[in-house]
Structure 1
């Protein structure tokens, strides 16, 4: 701080109040705002003084709040229709019935001709179906692989992340031992509920750091995950907290480098270890919208009752209204202190009593406008156009098409993330087992990482983009293929979610059968 000069000291002696004002003015002028200091970083404007902006690292801002965010996100999904619509819309458009693998072998690098590559790809698809199409692939034997995709993705949206383990378990009559075990995010937590930020010993293991169940080494690299034996929020866990135990699972096998844990999440901060629920930025808006909707519905129901209130000038100890509601229609007849409204309920009048009709002014004429404005803000925060979220395409064709195209970019990005975090790693582990068992012949798979990557190259096709005008979309696709801007395989995947090469093979078979049917028909006509 600048020292006061001779004049300031003199003024302080004679008029200390005035001297304090001079010092404050000098301090304010000593800092000349520039750039962001005039706007977002300004500390003197009244409009900015009330902004609670202090934050911290990813741990303070995210991991320390993750438990509350998860529980509120799940509660919103279960009780607020807009939240349910947002998550289910994302799940349906990104995963739908499941992303289907389409092997894309690098035949040039593997030295395979076109016929050999197509034959091997067809064999891979058949073998993968043996494992993926049955619940045996699920460690809980509940869902097939495509249903597991839906569950894993919805859990990722709702909780911020999903953990998948890849154990091996033999079952009689099954060709593969690979299993997928999904773990809800809450079960991956620090032992005894305490994070470790300094090197210490936990259950006999020397650890550098554990944050929300994710263990990292001195360089910040994820080394292991700590998984609770049951859900920490379960009723049994709350009663018998001492019975909770944690198992340390290495992220990668130390000897083989095999992936033991798949962590499905999307990071938004450097140093972040756990994912943020999709609804986290809009939870407050969703809750307020839910409360407002409940209040409007309740008010509208009361208004629809058309109950007559009796205004009496003579106080009475009896029940003021509701006696005309039949006993069998009372909701809580056991409670004698309950007062209920009934449709068309009217009370007999006594002398000196005045009739008044209940008129709560509902439904509110501004309800739709307000809720639609709020949903637009929520949709913008979630990258889901309100037309898509509410399934209402009442605007113009160009606006609806723009909304669908914009949403498709979001879905495409989410699909790429989910494929990289879950589908492709599971596929590669299955492929390794298939080669090890000799069911798929892939020379050099275990000795050359480049050949391994060439064998496991795969595209994952899912639900196609919604087409408002299929004829125009098909014409545009044909022109893109003819101009070389795209391929028939890419266009097929985008428009129908199918496989162009597989379609061509089926079309050849269909054309052959049609010719045979036509020839039979001509022969029968000639015979008549």
Structure 2
């Protein structure tokens, strides 16, 4: 009872009682059971940390645990491969949209620089391989850095553009730097007065290298020379965490259980014999000789007075169901289907497979848009435009489009007719459908025109489209088209 209630109760006990009862009912009704501190919620953690503070000081350990799991736990490695294969696949291809005169010139430079190892500081990766490594590092480490290295064309005459890209693990962030002027530096990243990233403090050598070539030094690199790729989950978040973090405990326990079951199966496959001697019987010098060579059909003679007792090996049961439930939890935590993670297609039909793929495809498209295109693609385009300006081609107007890899169809005989009907009904465009399948509309259009020219030059009859059963083009229309052919 607060002071106001006490005063009201003193002058009007009935009204005071009503106030106390109303307050009690409000406290009972207006609450969340999950927020209560009772037996059922005992041990639940609910820290109020900010987005980046939640993993502050723990990112290095999370990264090391994640990498070790990918090295030694088959399902962790499989989860990474599934995510990388679906997000990147054969590569997210760039395409130039511009006037014909400028388009040919820009495409030539783009292919010579981005689609060859010329773009890589080590001279090993082209754009498509770089995308795979970036997505793999984002999965295992939570984030990855790409650094622009400017080159002097007098010493690197073979480069189409005067810069290269260096892939950097976040281990190279110098965590010892705490400030730079008035700016705060946390775990090697410098933040300005508005909270935005202004620079990165990069070590010259990886702290985990086998041998350092020289004493490590730290370089302050402006944000414009860094592409920082990670997944955002909360407002204000600027750092990433390994994707295995929510399922590490489950993966570790599943792996321990699997190893225990394998050992149990080994024991079940063995047959051990224990030789018993009655009291008072003298044991021979080599008691039980020959039993170590016990095999199916073998005849082993026991010493006089000895009797063999065979052990009862343990029975392995419940393994499949337990592993299935555990891997389903891991798949949900990673955002992939159980079938793709476990390689188990035993209970899958077209409908269930399609429904599972639909949910996974939504996540894949979201990751492609937010990370591989929205962060990596936009950053590479910015550097590409800077490179064109440095060689005197900054006046060329163009836009850069990114086409994700083709989506593998579960049943083309059912899915392709549905796409055709969507296009003909005006629910989708042909270009959009082609991009959803991972194909470049401009390239398809150019190749079709080239095919028609070559067919005409060879005096070949034009090939008319055949509509699948169920699409708007029916067998009758196909027959009429065939009759009209020369």
Normalised-by-shorter TM-score class: 0.7 to 0.9
Partner in structure 2 of residue 307 of structure 1: 271
CA distance in 2, matches of 1:73, 1:400: 29
Which of 199, 212, 221 lines up with 2:187 in the alignment?
A: 212
The CA deviation string for residues 114-146 of structure 1, in whole angstroms up to 9 with x for no partner, is xxx244334322221111232121111111121
Q: Secondary structure at the match of 1:232?
A: coil
CA distance in 2, matches of 1:60, 1:320: 67
1:33 Cα deviation from its structure 2 partner: 4.0
Which of 68, 81, 86 lines up with 2:79 in the alignment?
A: 86
Moved over 6 A (4+): 314-326, 341-348
Partner in structure 2 of residue 255 of structure 1: none
Pairwise mapping of residues 56-455 of structure 1 onto structure 2 (< 5 A)?
56-105=49-98, 117-170=99-152, 171-191=156-176, 196=178, 200=179, 205-236=180-211, 243-251=215-223, 259-304=224-269, 306-313=270-277, 349-350=302-303, 351-357=305-311, 359-362=313-316, 364=317, 366-393=318-345, 394-417=347-370, 418-438=372-392, 440=393, 443=395, 455=397
1:460 and 2:402 matched: yes
| CA contact 1:307–1:342 (8 Å) conserved in 2 | no
CA distance in 2, matches of 1:172, 1:322: 79
Q: Secondary structure at the match of 1:64?
A: coil
CA distance in 2, matches of 1:291, 1:211: 36
| CA contact 2:202–2:218 (8 Å) conserved in 1 | yes
- 1:489–1:30 CA distance, 2 compared to 1 (3 A): closer
CA distance in 2, matches of 1:436, 1:177: 7
Q: Secondary structure at the match of 1:269?
A: coil
Aligned length: 434
CA distance in 2, matches of 1:33, 1:317: 81
- 1:169–1:313 CA distance, 2 compared to 1 (3 A): farther
- 1:73–1:138 CA distance, 2 compared to 1 (3 A): same
Q: Secondary structure at the match of 2:407?
A: coil
The CA deviation string for residues 147-188 of structure 1, in whole angstroms up to 9 with x for no partner, is 011111100111000001011124233322221101012112
Tell which deviates more after alignment, 91-100 or 421-430.
421-430
CA distance in 1, matches of 2:225, 2:51: 25
| CA contact 1:226–1:247 (8 Å) conserved in 2 | yes
- 1:461–1:352 CA distance, 2 compared to 1 (3 A): same
Q: Secondary structure at the match of 2:341?
A: helix
Gaps of 5+ in 1: 4-28, 106-116, 252-258, 327-340, 446-454, 521-528
1:38 Cα deviation from its structure 2 partner: 4.1
1:214 Cα deviation from its structure 2 partner: 0.9
- 1:46–1:511 CA distance, 2 compared to 1 (3 A): same
Partner in structure 2 of residue 473 of structure 1: 415
RMSD between superposed Cα atoms in Å: 3.4
1:100 Cα deviation from its structure 2 partner: 0.5
CA distance in 2, matches of 1:376, 1:488: 37
1:234 Cα deviation from its structure 2 partner: 3.4
Partner in structure 2 of residue 47 of structure 1: 40
CA distance in 1, matches of 2:231, 2:419: 32
1:318 Cα deviation from its structure 2 partner: 9.3
CA distance in 2, matches of 1:236, 1:270: 40
**TM-score, scaled to structure 2:** 0.80
Tell which deviates more after alignment, 455-464 or 485-494.
455-464
Tell which deviates more after alignment, 53-62 or 174-183.
53-62
